[in-house]
Structure 1
């Protein structure tokens, strides 16, 4: 089955946040340690060697699904792209040091779960007024996801259904259900995603198909 080609619109958007995390040089170190060339990695995730090179040099960023595909191609979890395994296993992750990846327009996603946790993933999300996960609903794998609103008012679309959710509201669904989040309130919104088992640990590279959502990567 042909893999989805990454779009040219997003990879350049989140460079600043990922520079702080050092994800680009870490991807390069992990790739070279596995003797995978730029071209090979690009072919595996459906993008170009030029994009991978820019990402590794922190000249551009990549969103969560693109990082998931890179991790899967290197037989890693997404945590491995951000973490130095020499760190103490119970080191406190402060808010300002959360690994950040761009998501949609006016939003960002922050990875909270880290090694040695393998059973689930937790992401915090922040959306400015009108911010969203993107223009279209998306899917990722066939895992189980819980969505919780921590602050503000958001509209969560699940398939053909739409739900207006406020602080403290939550819902569970399969990650194979097309879903989209948009801040419909008049203040910034904060949300939480809990995924089990981790999508990044078992993601198939051809799961991101046209019709689900174009996940930018170059």
Structure 2
């Protein structure tokens, strides 16, 4: 009978033809990390893998940092910057050497079990929404300090990260104590977001 953890993985994993011959690369976790049910920080965690754990790497989503692995009896998704692969006798971080390592490409589609045939797009398939006018924000230094001290995983989205752009509903924004705006990291750029309209009001560059 499938384990409870595997039942959480409602996604469908498809190996691209280029990656079939190279599936199941050996990798090692470079830090303690959360293994998630889907390719994004908004997905629930399956569990935590400790630093130095041996893992089997199925592949990564093209244009994204998210990779599918088997580790310590768990199967799920992690950020490529948390994995290393041996190359010429030396460990290298998957994110930094993706192309030269020949990491297989995988795709992900999350199905909705309550609606037959419906498919919810992953963050990598979504576009940043339309741009509209917003109030100009000049965040205090304390806000930047808080964001720096409380980092979050980056969310990958297609489109320009600009003030006024609307974030998809699937993107989880994070509250800043005693401040009107929330924050999230999009394509490795921290941004402030109006939690009511979900529009970007400031981009840290």
In the superposition, the TM-score normalised over structure 1's length comes to 0.27
The structure number with the bigger radius of gyration is 2
| Structure with greater proportional helix content | 1
Q: More relative contact order in 1 or in 2 (CA 8 Å, sep 6+)?
A: 1
Q: TM-score, normalised to structure 2's length? A: 0.28
